Structure 1
Amino acid sequence: MSKNNKLAFTKQNYILMVAGIVVLILGFILMSMDTEPYGFGILGLTIGPMTVLAGFIIQFFAILHKSKEDK
């Protein structure tokens, strides 16, 4: 087999992806924990969405991250 048949992602990419998924789930859980009516509290409007956004940013970097061996 030649070295051109490598997988697109490395172990570090998958670790970052799992971390991003965990942060996304945490953000949705935070939004659902809001006790204010219709989710208009601090958890539903600020902390939860910011956590979800951080999870998507982690996913973005997990997909685009290149290992030093590929450079």
Structure 2
Amino acid sequence: MSKQQKTASSPKGLVFAKRNYQLFLLSIAVVAVGFMLMTGTSDIYSFTKITLAPLVVVAGFALGVVAILAKPKKSGDS
């Protein structure tokens, strides 16, 4: 296989590059934080549970989409 056909940023056998996996793990953590913000029994109608937590969860899912669609940088680019 020639050098042009190999992807420099993704090891053999992996679908995405290391950065994609890091972003995806970060998105999972952000979604988890959003769900933790929704938990609890005190004051169901607080700003945190009604507004902030859903926004954090949606931001986590958006980051997951970015992680999937982000193209890996080439090894020559800095």
TM-score tier (shorter): 0.7 to 0.9
Q: Match for residue 54 of structure 1?
A: 59
TM-score normalised to structure 1 length? 0.80
The corresponding residue for 1:63 is: 68
Give TM-score, length-normalised by structure 2: 0.74
Q: Identify unmatched segments of 5+ residues in structure 2.
A: none
Q: Paired residues, what number?
A: 67
| Structure with greater proportional helix content | 1
**Coordinate RMSD, CA, aligned:** 2.1
Indicate how the Cα distance of structure 1 residues 16 and 34 shifts in structure 2: closer, same or farther if over 3 A, else same.
farther
Alignment pair present for 1:11 and 2:11: no
Q: What percent of counterpart residues are identical?
A: 36
Residue of structure 2 in register with 1:24 after alignment: 31
Q: For structure 1, which runs of at least 5 residues remain unmatched after alignment?
A: none
Q: Which runs of 4+ in 1 moved over 4 A?
A: none
Q: What is the CA deviation profile of residues 4-37 of structure 1, one whole-angstrom value per residue up to 9, with x for unaligned ones? A: 865320100000000000000000000114621x
* Structure of larger gyration radius: 2
